[in-house]
Structure 1
C-alpha cells in the first residue's frame, strides 16, 4: 500500500491482523445465526412478486415449508460468512494501521497519539477496502445461498445442496466467472459502499462516545458497543440496498441462453427502473433493516469482546 505500510512493525502488525481475523470469524458465526431467517424473507421479497409484505412472506414460508425453511442454505454462509467477516475485519485493521502510519509520518516529529488519528474519509476508505477484499469470496457464497433460498420447495428442488449448486452454476452457467461469479461487478460496488459506511458509522459513534465521556475507546460499555453496531448496520443497508437488489436479481436469473433476462449489471438497473421505478430498488428494505440492528449489533459486540479478551 505504499511507503507508510513499510513503517508498520512487521511482528506486531501480523499479530494484530491475526487478532482481527479471529475476532471477525467469531462475529461472522454470530451474524449468520441471528440473521439467516430475516435474510431469506428479504431475498424472497426481492426476487418474487408472490408476497404482499415481509409478514406475508414469513407466514407463507412457515406455513408451506415449515420452520426449518428459514435456515435454508445456512451451511454455506455459516462457513463462508465466518470467513467473510474475518476478512472484513482483517482488511479493515490492516488499512487502518496503514493510514495511522501515513498520518504519523506526515505529522513529522509529533509523538502525540492524535497524530495517528484517521479522518472519517480514511475510515470510509479503509472500510471500502475491506468490502472489496471481502467481495472475492462473498460474491460466490451469496450466489449459492440465494439460489438455495429461492429454489422451489419439495419435489421441485433444483439443487440437492451447496456443492450441487456450485457444480450446476459452473457447468450450466458458462464457467466459474460467468456462472459462479455472476453479479460480481455489482457485488463489488455494494461491498465498497456498504462496508465503507458500516465501519465509518461505527467508528464515529464509538469515538464520539469516548470523547463525550472522556474515556478510552476500549472502555465504552458493551451495551453501547452493541447499540452503535446496530445503528451502523442500519446505515450499511441504507447506503447499499439498491446494489443488493440488483445483485439478487442477477443471481436468481436464468443460467444460460434465453433463460438469461439480465445481460449486465447496467441492464438489470435499467430493466428494474423501467418496470418498477425507484420503488423497485427498495423492495424488501423493511425486513432488511429489522434484521440489520440485531445482526450488526451481535457482530460488533462479539468482535469487540473477542478483541478485548485477546488484548
Structure 2
C-alpha cells in the first residue's frame, strides 16, 4: 500500500467515525420507517418517540442490544475510508493523465470528478453491501424475539444458512445506489471546493473548515436526492426473507420495485425521507470536515 493511499484510508476512517457519531440516531429512525409496514408510524416523531419509550435513549446508538455503537463505527469507518481512498486514487490517475496528455495543468474536468465518485462508490459497495445488510438486520429485529445476538452472530448464521449470496443480499440495489449517488456526491463537493479555491486564490488546506462542512452538507443533499428511492428498495431487500420458507416477499430487485409500487404507491419510495433530510447536512458535513482536517494533520506530519 502506498503512502498516499494509507493517508486517504486514515483520513477517510476519521470522516466515517464523525459520520456515525452525528448521524446514527437519524439513520435508525430512517431504517425503521423504511422497513415497517405501512401505517406503523404516523411520522418521524412518532417513530422516534416509540424507540425512546420502548427501548430507551441509548437505542439510538445501538445497532443491536449487544453490539452498541462499535459495529457501525468500524463498519461505516471502513466504508468511508474505502470511498475516499477510491476517490483520491482516481483523482490522481486522472490528473496524471491530463498532465501527460498536455491538455492542462492536472486539474480535473466535471466528468472526471463524477467518474472518480462512481469508482469510489463501486469500490465501497464491496464492503458497504454486507455491512449495511448486517446492520439493518440488527436494527429491525424484534427486541423480544431476537434472531441474532450481535453482528458476528448475524454474519455466521446468515452465511451458514444462505452462503455468500445471503451476505450480499440486496447487492444489485446497493451497486445502483453507490455508483449513481457517489458520482453526484463527490462531483458536487469537489466542484464547490474548486470554486472556493479559485475565487479566493487559496490552497485546499486553506479553505475555512466551516465552508468544508457547508460543502459537505450540500453534497449530502444531492446524494439523497438521487438515491433515496434506491436506498428504500435496498432496505426492503435486506430485511426480506431469504426464501419462501423464511417469509421471502420479493423474487428480485425489480420484483421488489413492482410489488411495492402496486401495493403501496409512490409514497412508499419516500417513507423515512424526513429524518434523512434532517440527518444529511450534519452527517455529511461532519464526514468531509473529519476527512479534510485529518488530511491536514497527516500532510503536516
Q: Fold conserved (TM > 0.5)?
A: yes
Residue aligned with 1:251, SS: helix
Residue aligned with 1:263, SS: coil
Partner of 2:25: 37
1:135-146 equivalences under 5 Å are 135-146=125-136
Please state if 1:180 is matched with 2:167: yes
1:279, 1:151 → 2: CA distance? 24
Deviation of 1:212 (Å):
2.1
Deviation of 1:56 (Å):
0.8
**CA deviations over 1:1-54 (Å, ceiling 9, x no partner):** xxxxxxxxxxxx922211111100111111111111110000011011311111
Partner of 1:90: 85
1:72, 1:16 → 2: CA distance? 34
2:70, 2:240 → 1: CA distance? 22
1:12-27 equivalences under 5 Å are 14-27=2-15
**CA deviations over 1:117-167 (Å, ceiling 9, x no partner):** 1111111110110010011111011001001100111x3222111112112
1:34-113 equivalences under 5 Å are 34-48=22-36, 49=38, 50-73=40-63, 74-107=69-102
1:111-122 equivalences under 5 Å are 114-122=104-112
1:165, 1:145 → 2: CA distance? 9
Gaps of 5+ in 1: 1-12, 109-113
- Equivalent pairs counted in the alignment come to 291
Partner of 2:120: 130
Partner of 1:5: none
- Of the candidates 156, 170, 173, which is equivalent to residue 159 of structure 2? 170
Residue aligned with 2:239, SS: coil
Please state if 1:256 is matched with 2:243: yes
2:42, 2:234 → 1: CA distance? 21
Partner of 2:264: 276
Partner of 1:232: 219
1:84, 1:115 → 2: CA distance? 31
CA root-mean-square deviation = 1.4
Does structure 2 conserve the Cα–Cα contact (< 8 Å) formed by 1:45 and 1:283?
yes
- Of the candidates 177, 185, 193, which is equivalent to residue 190 of structure 1? 177
Does structure 2 conserve the Cα–Cα contact (< 8 Å) formed by 1:169 and 1:255?
no
Does structure 2 conserve the Cα–Cα contact (< 8 Å) formed by 1:194 and 1:240?
yes
2:97, 2:263 → 1: CA distance? 48
Does structure 2 conserve the Cα–Cα contact (< 8 Å) formed by 1:41 and 1:54?
yes
Partner of 1:287: 275
TM-score (norm 1): 0.90
